[in-house]
Amino acid sequence: GNSVTQMEGPVTLSEEAFLTINCTYTATGYPSLFWYVQYPGEGLQLLLKATKADDKGSNKGFEATYRKETTSFHLEKGSVQVSDSAVYFCALIPYNNNDMRFGAGTRLTVKP
């Protein structure tokens, strides 16, 4: 079936540190891949997405590249800020399906 696996958290970093949150997926064909962010007490907001292999999604300094050969979509940011503290979800939508599947989420805390 279709599924997403994220690295377990929580992740605690100092301001300006480099961030990587790993995400791998299982799906038939070519799914669309997404990263969503959830700030405390809020709903999910789209951070970035990629819809085909080798595409790079980017937004607010975050990047992720759709790697078909490793079935991965790792999230990276070169220099995190305290305001990046949130829960990050990796998700996919299979190409022939309407069902969006989420990873368990990774809580990031950035300390000054």
Partner 1 sequence: NAGVTQTPKFQVLKTGQSMTLQCAQDMNHEYMSWYRQDPGMGLRLIHYSVGAGITDQGEVPNGYNVSRSTTEDFPLRLLSAAPSQTSVYFCASRAGTSGKTQYFGPGTRLLVL
For partner 1, the binding residues (CB under 8 A) are 4, 31-32, 34, 36, 42-46, 49, 51, 89, 93-105
Query: Least Å distance between CB 87 and partner 1?
Result: 10
Query: Least Å distance between CB 46 and partner 1?
Result: 5
Please check whether residue 32 is in contact with residue 93, taking contact to mean a CB–CB distance below 8 angstroms: yes
Please check whether residue 41 is in contact with residue 35, taking contact to mean a CB–CB distance below 8 angstroms: no
Query: Least Å distance between CB 32 and partner 1?
Result: 4
What gap in Å lies between CA 11 and CA 85, rounded to an integer? Answer: 10
